[in-house]
Amino acid sequence: MRQIKPNLLSEEDLKNVKMDIKSALKAIALSELVSMRELEEEIANTEKIYESPLLLGLMVRCVQNQNESAIEKLITGFAHWKNFLPQKELGGMTNVEYEKKYPRGPEELRIIGEMMKTYEAKLGDMSIKEAKETNFDIDKDFAEFQKEFLELIPAYQPFGTQKNAHA
């Protein structure tokens, strides 16, 4: 599977994502039944994979076939493809267009990276049994985790950045 840099999405990345999705569909014997156009419409109109019978069905088929590679290609492919589709909450812009117009700074990228790494570790420590017993809701859990994580960053920064310190 190709490595796609999440901060540097390009039309070439989108082409690669679509090729990965096509190969995953072929691997689970659904390339003749599910069109790329149908997938694009579904991805554009779906917030979460489990809300779409089509996308969820593809995931179930991967699990039935015990094809982890196809699961990974589809999940990451759907997420990356969505970045190229217009979003209502961005005024009709795609995530890629928005990122180009309002690029994130190095500190924002560092904080987001640390937050995601920390959350992944937290999820890795949780057992499936524990998740079932607590009726685990990943959206709610992540929102709470994100709030707690970001509260660790002091609102007042007593020292300027390296660039400002010498000004």
**Contacting residues for 111 by C-beta, under 8 A, at least 6 apart:** 150, 153
Q: How far apart are CA 121 and CA 155, in angstroms?
A: 26
Instruction: Read off the pLDDT of residues 39-57 as tens digits, 9 standing for 90 and up.
Output: 999 999 988 888 899 998 9
pLDDT at 122 > cutoff 80: yes
Instruction: Read off the pLDDT of residues 143-152 as tens digits, 9 standing for 90 and up.
Output: 888 888 888 7
Work out the percent of the chain whose per-residue pLDDT is above 70.
Answer: 84
- CA-based R_g, the chain, Å: 19
**Which of these, 59, 54, 50, 52, lies nearest to 24 by C-alpha position?**
59
How far lies 136's CA from each of 57, 119, 127, in Å?
22, 14, 11
How much is the pLDDT for 20?
Answer: 94
pLDDT at 115 > cutoff 50: yes
Q: How far apart are CA 18 and CA 80, in angstroms?
A: 9
Instruction: Read off the pLDDT of residues 64-95 as tens digits, 9 standing for 90 and up.
Output: 888 888 988 998 899 899 989 998 888 999 98
To the question of pTM greater than 0.85 for the whole model, the response is no
